[in-house]
Amino acid sequence: MIEKEIKSKSEKVFPNGKDLGGASQNILIIGAGLCGSLLALRLGQRGYNVAVYEMRPDLRKVDISAGRSINLAFSDRGNKAMKLVGIDEKVNQLCIPMHGRMIHDANGNTFQSNYSGRDHEYINSISRGGLNALLLDEAEQHKNVSIYFNKKCTSVDFEKTTARFTDYRTKEEFIEDADIIIATDGAGSAMRKSYYLGKKFLFSFSQSYLSHGYKELSILPKPNGGYKIHKNALHIWPRKSFMLIALPNLDGSFTVTLFLSYDDGEYNFNNLTDEKIVLEFFQKEFPDALALMPNLTDDFFENPTAPLGTIKCSPWHYKGNTLLMGDAAHAIVPFYGQGMNASFEDIVEFDAVLNKHKGDWETVFQEYEKSRKKDTDAIADLAIDNFHEMKDHVANPIFQEKRKIEMALEKHFPKEYASKYSLVTFNEDIGYREAMLRGRAQDKAILNMLSDGVISPSDDIQLILDKVKNETEAILEDDRIAGLR
């Protein structure tokens, strides 16, 4: 279609008109997923005219899961965003507390490793669709927020602040303009692609994949709606080079995810091609899980195998016109349970910068990226670390000793010690980068002293704390000298 034939629909999209100034400015959000719908809600609360375009159908009317994770880990950083928009109590009703990891060994034995030595610290399993629907409903309560579905963004002209869309139903192409465009359209972001292809400014982009992919499976509820395994835990079957995990759902089912190499090992996604070998694989590696999954082969061959990747890029913005946010700016692998939480925290951080520089969008975007990017890079790296921890280290005796010590330290000294996991997951007022640097130093300190026999779980707990603190500070000082901090 010729450019002049493509008409803007701004008068309909922004019924209050354009260029009214101040908080009445028009903001176009690309993507109505978790990040986009929360952003629309917050900007709507602030009085901006907001139009959201989503390529998928309305998930409140159509099931669009299609093998995509239907539940996610929700923790303190995400809840801070829910408090910001005033819906934390409603979100809590969608949550199932998970107090720790339930480890399943190859013989079907289990033990629970808690996430924290403090009883009030735990993560939650939450329905992706349920939370997204709630955020959409809350956003649409504001008359200045409009949400449009089945509209795919194909490109963004970041100099003109316009976006080109295709309507999936009518196949019509059209262009929307706005004062500000914010892309929350995920790892495949159309605006990020436009930044890259536009070559109008220096844009750095990296995309890296693990050699593993993932496939969604399920444990169905008991006939009476009950849970077949312990409800309040994240279940893990660690097998060194691969693993199975399961998170509970409100209906009594568990969403089960297999993380497995595409090519390596005796069993991999490329050779699990028929029912016989799939059942053989599960019988050998996950016999207790197989006993709970009579629907295994149906799920296995109906649901897609998807890749696991990390995206980093910069800059996230172009002048004061356009901005990338959430997975569009920093997609990560799911192994710290922080992808959604990090995207929600984006909005908390963005809102704080907006409070300081309201009306000066270029300064808002610059300051937001300057303060935020170091933390999103850190959680991306931590997520890779946790992949190796979950599939292998959790079953390692020295790692289990380390966790015993950490749990004891957190229980006896709740205000003096927090493990790396706690710093990342439960300390929402500490940035991811600071949590990573301190957490890694603590891990190194404890593991070194365990290996050298300097400490053991049976030692006096105060003595252990003093030694861990001293060794941690020594490691952090070495890092400072080496320029790693």
Q: What is the pLDDT of residue 228?
A: 98
Co-location of 367 and 341 in the same domain: yes
On whether both 322 and 382 belong to a single domain, the answer is yes
Q: Is the same domain home to 81 and 150? A: yes
Q: What is the pLDDT of residue 480?
A: 87
The one-letter amino acid code at 225 reads G
Domain around 472: 396-480
Residue 221 lies in a domain: no
* Residue 314 sits in the same domain as residue 368: yes
Same-domain check for residues 82 and 161 = yes
Residues 322 and 406 in one domain: no
Nearest to 102 by CA among 93, 92, 114, 94: 114
Q: Do 39 and 133 belong together in one domain?
A: yes
Q: Report the domain count for the chain.
A: 2
- The answer to whether position 253 is within a domain reads no
| Structural domain ending residue among the three candidates 358, 387, 416 | 387
Domain boundary among 387, 411, 439: 387
Q: What pLDDT, on the 0 to 100 scale, is given for residue 103?
A: 95
| 275 falls within a domain | no
The CATH code of the domain that includes 350 is 3.50.50.60
Per-residue pLDDT of the chain (485 residues; tens, 9 = 90+): 333 344 454 444 554 433 334 457 999 999 999 999 999 999 999 999 999 999 999 999 987 665 556 789 999 999 999 999 999 999 999 999 999 999 999 999 999 999 999 999 999 999 999 999 999 999 999 999 999 999 999 999 999 999 999 999 999 999 999 999 999 999 999 999 999 999 999 999 999 999 999 999 999 999 999 999 999 999 999 999 999 999 999 999 999 999 999 999 999 999 999 999 999 999 999 999 999 999 999 999 999 999 999 999 999 999 999 999 999 999 999 999 999 999 999 999 999 999 999 889 999 999 999 999 999 999 999 999 888 877 767 678 888 899 999 999 999 999 999 999 999 999 999 999 999 999 999 999 999 999 999 999 999 999 999 999 999 999 999 988 887 76
User: Does residue 74 sit within a domain?
Assistant: yes
Is 284 inside a domain boundary?
A: no
CA distances to 3, 39, 308 from 262, rounded to whole Å, are 43, 36, 11
Q: How far apart are CA 449 and CA 465, in angstroms?
A: 12
Q: Do the bridges between strand 180-183 and strand 322-324 make them parallel or antiparallel, or are there none, so unpaired?
A: parallel
pTM greater than 0.85 (yes/no): yes
How many Cβ atoms from other residues are within 10 Å of residue 193's Cβ?
A: 18
- Do 312 and 434 lie in one domain? The reply is no
pLDDT for the residue numbered 19: 36
> How confident is the model at residue 2, as a pLDDT?
33
Phi-psi group of 326: left, alpha or beta (phi > 0 → left; psi -120 to 50 → alpha; rest → beta):
left
Angle (CA) 354 378 190, round 5°: 60
Domain assignment of residue 217, yes or no = no
Same-domain check for residues 312 and 445: no
Q: Does 88 map to a domain? A: yes
Within a domain: 241: no
Q: What is the pLDDT of residue 4?
A: 35
Domain co-membership, 69 together with 134: yes
Residues 334 and 418 placed together within one structural domain of the fold: no
Together in a domain, 405 and 383? no
From 387, 422, 452, the end of a domain falls on 387
